[in-house]
Amino acid sequence: MMNIASIKYDSLVNGEGLRTVVFAQGCKHNCKGCFNPHTHEFGIGRDYEVEDLYKIIKENCLMKKVTFSGGDPLYQVEEFTELAKLLKADGYNIWCYTGFTIEEIQNDENMSKILDYVDVIVDGKFDESKAGEYKYKGSSNQRIINIKENIGNE
């Protein structure tokens, strides 16, 4: 079961191209100045079975492009990995925003599994002191990492 804050269709600001965005409910990073503070509390979003959310995305996604955001999807990493696996098998391009760094993800046995299915990770906590007008990220410390090019997962 996944706890989801909201789903946004036809976004142009959460990754390249026209995308469906799934906002996870729950985050412990507590970044000062976070864009989505309403997604921090755990368990208050809407619950979805992974298969049901997959079907909703397939029915409503104009382009095969999906972004996981939040909250932080990696606090529900098993469910988001399962969803990513289903979407990737259908040819979707997947971006994932997380407050964890790529190094933390790679060094965690559970979190690292999602790297097999996502195309791009936008990593790192939002840092209000480094905020600016950046394309696809909120602060200069965050990195936009193409998994295949930079890590070699296929």
DSSP state of 101: -
Residue 136 CA to residue 116 CA, distance in Å, equals 22
Q: Could you read off the pLDDT of 30-87 as tens digits, one per residue?
A: 899 898 999 999 999 999 999 999 999 999 988 999 999 999 999 999 999 999 999 9
Joined together, the tokens standing for residue 32 give: 């000062």
Q: Could you read off the pLDDT of 101-154 as tens digits, one per residue?
A: 999 999 999 999 999 999 999 999 999 999 999 999 999 999 999 998 877 654
Residue 2 CA to residue 7 CA, distance in Å, equals 12
Listed residue (120, 115, 153) closest to 137, CA to CA: 120
CATH 3.40.190.100 for domain 2-150, yes or no, is no
pTM: 0.95
